[in-house]
Amino acid sequence: MTPSLARTRIKICGLTREQDVDAAVAAGADAIGFVLYAKSPRAVTAQRAAELARRLPPFVTPVLLFVNPTPTEVIAACALVAGATVQFHGDETPQQCWQASDAGRLPFLRAARIPLGEAGHSFDLLKYADQYSQAQAILLDAHVDGYGGAGQTFNWSLLPPNVDAHLVLSGGLTPANVTDGVRLLRPRCRSLAVDVSSGVEASAPDGSALKGIKDAEKIQQFVAAVRAADATPF
């Protein structure tokens, strides 16, 4: 069999500023994520997300991240952000995702929260992907207190060798580790995308991340690392 190449799609999430949207687009991102969860330090309103999304050129997708929203909240936000994909990142059931996505008229991603360490063995991704088969893709994130991966990486090697779904790898990705993640998971699913937030954020003088403030150079490095992985046949 001839080795094949695949193009890994890239989402930069948690954007709050115009210059960061522009930097992500310039670097070659396929999707831009806006967090519509008020308790997140990266949260924006639906109106602010709409302002930022208007900067996007054709074929770059805005993604609106929700945690346990009502259908009314999702449909109203998507009315403001043309062409948006919805990301459900809370405890939404398949039926709740279906209802909030306007009976499937809005494309959506469903986050799967993978336990850290060896506990990842207990998560049945095949069953989860089947339960949420109406999702455009299953987004893999680390299971930590609260919602979102908190910049932590789960054990990728514990995932099944063959998942009949489109997957999005998230949780603790950085320019330094994303190449390994892509090479490991790309052969295991229909297609693979990656989603980064804290891994491309600017740093304060003490080294801590400035949540919601991105670093253009780190974004470029992240995209370059993904493309390096794509250049490796599998």
Instruction: Report pLDDT digits (tens) over 156-187.
Output: 999 999 999 999 999 999 999 999 999 999 99
* Stretches in the chain below the pLDDT threshold 50: 1-2, 149
130 neighbors 102 (Cβ within 8 angstroms): no
What residues are annotated to the active site?
13, 141
**Rounded Cα gap, residues 231 and 95, in angstroms:** 39
Domain ranges of the chain: 9-230
Tokens of 200: 């491309």
Which pLDDT belongs to residue 97? Answer: 97
Our CA dihedral for 161, 197, 130, 103, rounded to 10 degrees, sits at: -160
Mean residue pLDDT of the chain comes to 93
Which pLDDT belongs to residue 1? Answer: 36
**Does the model's pTM come out above 0.85?**
yes
Share of the chain above pLDDT 90, in %: 82
Tokens of 110: 């469903």
The reply to whether CATH 3.20.20.70 applies to domain 9-230 is: yes
